[in-house]
Amino acid sequence: MNGLGGLNKSPNGVVIGLVQLQLPRIATKADLAAQTDRIVAMVAKARSNLATMDLVVFPEYALHGLSMDTDPDILCRLDGPEVAAFKQACIDNRIWGCFSIMEANPNGSPFNSGLIIDDAGAVKLYYRKMHPWVPVEPWEPGDIGIPVIEGPRGAKIALIICHDGMFPEMARECAYKGAEIMIRTAGYTAPIRESWRFTNQSNAFCNLMITASVCMCGSDGAFDSMGEGMICNFDGSVIAHGTTGRVDEIITAEVRPDLVREARIHWGVENNIYQLGHRGYTAVKGGAQDCPYTYMHDLAAGRYALPWEDAVKVVDGTGCGFPAPTRSYGAAQTPASREAAE
C-alpha cells in the first residue's frame, strides 16, 4: 500500500519522504549557515524528486551533527535565520517539512526541538524532545508534552525524537491524542539498528498508527549514522525501508490515514489502544476501566522508583564527559550553575 513509493497517489493518500541526510560536522556559525543552505536545497530536491510528496522529513541532528556541542554561537531560536530559511523553503516548494534544531534555552540546557512547517511557511507543530538519550546527550528534558496537529490532507500527525521511540508510553500518548501518523526523527548509529526496526513496527501495531522514522546517514569521520528510513503501516508491516544506507536518499511511500481511522473503529481483535481502557469487555459491560498499573500511579504521584533503583550505576552524564548537574528539573539556571555546565 505504498503507491509505488507515492508515484501513484490515491484520493485519500498522504505521501511522505524521509531524507537520509549525510551526517555533517558543525563547529562554527559558518558551518551552521552552510548546513542550513544544504537542507533548503534538499527540500527542493524532495519536491523535484516526487511531485506528489506532501511532507518531507529531515532527521534529528540534520542541522547540528552529532557533536553534542552546546556552544551558544551554534544554537538556534524559533525566530532565527535557520528556521526562517526552512519556512521559506516550504513556501517556495509548496511542501510541508519536518526539521530539527538545537534550541537555545536561557533558563537551562538547550532543548532538542522539532518543527513541522506547512506549505505556507507557518510552524504548525513545535516539540521538545522528552527523553534525551542519556547519558550521551546534554539536552534539557522537554516540558511541553506531545502536540498533535492536523497536517497535510487532514492527517493527524505527532512528532517524537529518537530515544523517545524506545518508550511505549510515547507512541501511546501520540495515538491517545489522536495521531494517525507518528514521525520519529533520529541520529542513531549502527548499534541501535535492530532496536530501531522492531520499535518502529511495535509502536505502529500496538497503537493502530502509521510510523514514519528516519536517521541521519553516513559518516562525519567519527560517527556513522545508519539512515534506515522506515515507514510502517498500522498493522506493523513495513511499507518502505531504506536498508542500503545510501546518503541523501529520500525514502518515500503513500500512507492512508483513512484506513487507520477505519481500523480503530472496526477492529475487534488486537484493537489494543481501545482495549487498554476497556479490559475484558466480553465479560463485563464496557470493560474494566480502572488503572491496575503500579508504575503509572507512582509516576503520576512523583514516587517512581524501580525495585533495583539504588543499584543503578549510571545516573548522570559524567561518564560521557559532562559535569554532574546540580539544578533540579523546572528550576531556572543560575549564573553559578551555568558556569559549572560550561
User: Does the domain made of 3-275 have the CATH classification 3.20.20.70?
Assistant: no
Contacts of 212 (CB under 8 A, 6+ apart): 16, 18, 57, 181, 182, 183, 184, 230, 231, 232, 255
Domain range list for the chain: 3-275, 294-341
How far apart are the C-alpha atoms of 223 and 243, rounded to whole Å? 18
33, three cell numbers:
549557515
How far apart are the C-alpha atoms of 155 and 255, rounded to whole Å? 10
Position 213 scores a pLDDT of 98
Question: Which of 128, 206, 137, 210 has the alpha carbon at shortest distance from 167?
Answer: 206
pLDDT in tens, 22-78: 999 999 999 999 999 999 999 999 999 999 999 999 999 999 999 999 999 999 999
Secondary structure of residue 324 in the 3-state scheme: coil
295, three cell numbers:
508504575
> Average pLDDT for residues 242-262, to the nearest whole number?
96
pLDDT grade, residue 331 (50/70/90)? confident
| Angle of the 193-205 helix axis to the 168-176 helix axis, nearest 10 | 30
Bridge partner residues of 309 (DSSP): none
Bridge partner residues of 111 (DSSP): 103
Position 5 scores a pLDDT of 87
> Average pLDDT for residues 132-139, to the nearest whole number?
97
CA-based torsion, 12, 227, 98, 129: positive or negative: positive
pLDDT grade, residue 196 (50/70/90)? very high
Position 151 scores a pLDDT of 98
Whether pLDDT at 130 is above 80: yes
Catalytically annotated residues: 60, 129, 162
pLDDT in tens, 112-125: 999 999 999 999 99
> Average pLDDT for residues 216-227, to the nearest whole number?
95
Whether pLDDT at 332 is above 90: no
